[in-house]
Amino acid sequence: MTNEQLKFIDEIGTAARTYYDKYKILPSLVIAMAIKESGWGNSQLASKHHNYFGMKWKTKCGTQYVEYNTKEYDKTAGKYITVKAKYRRFPTVEEGIKGFYDFISGYKRYSNLIGELNPVIACQKIQVDGWATSPTYAT
């Protein structure tokens, strides 16, 4: 593991632990998702806008947005397609992590993550809950 990767884990983990008492969602899940979704923080969405999870923007979500092309898995077509999407922007790492916790705590389908202490099961649950379109997300 590189020094940059260790720094990324520490930075995301510190912010995630800050919010654990309030949200009760494993910081290790948050770290793993941030690594996977942002390519260790190297995506433009993460490095410039502190959105480490690919969270889409909606009117009234309380943040500004930025637009990027992305690939999403189309179940009907059975393949990945490119679409332009609006994503949430955050001014700091901490606000990006809090934004993630606020986002998933706003949906009943993610409530099964609250209090889950097994990181493998937490990863499986987030996929089953519909977080990502990739059929291999949890692996």
Please state the three-class secondary structure of the chain as a single string. Answer: CCHHHHHHHHHHHHHHHHHHHHHCCCHHHHHHHHHHHHCCCCCHHHHHHCCCCCCECCCCCCCEEEEEEEEEEECCCCEEEEEEEEEEECCCHHHHHHHHHHHHHCCHHHHHHCCCCCHHHHHHHHHHCCCCCCCCCCC
Q: How far apart are CA 41 and CA 12, in angstroms?
A: 9
Which pLDDT score is estimated for 75? Answer: 87
Task: Return averaged pLDDT per consecutive 10 residues of the chain, 139 residues in all.
Answer: 97 97 96 96 96 92 91 89 95 96 94 96 94 84
Q: What is the pLDDT of residue 62?
A: 86
Task: Give the pLDDT of residue 109.
Answer: 96
- What confidence score (pLDDT) does residue 29 get? 97
Sign of CA dihedral 3, 66, 54, 133: negative
Task: Residue 80: count other Cβ atoms within 10 Å of its Cβ.
Answer: 13
Which position has the token pair 């410039």? 48
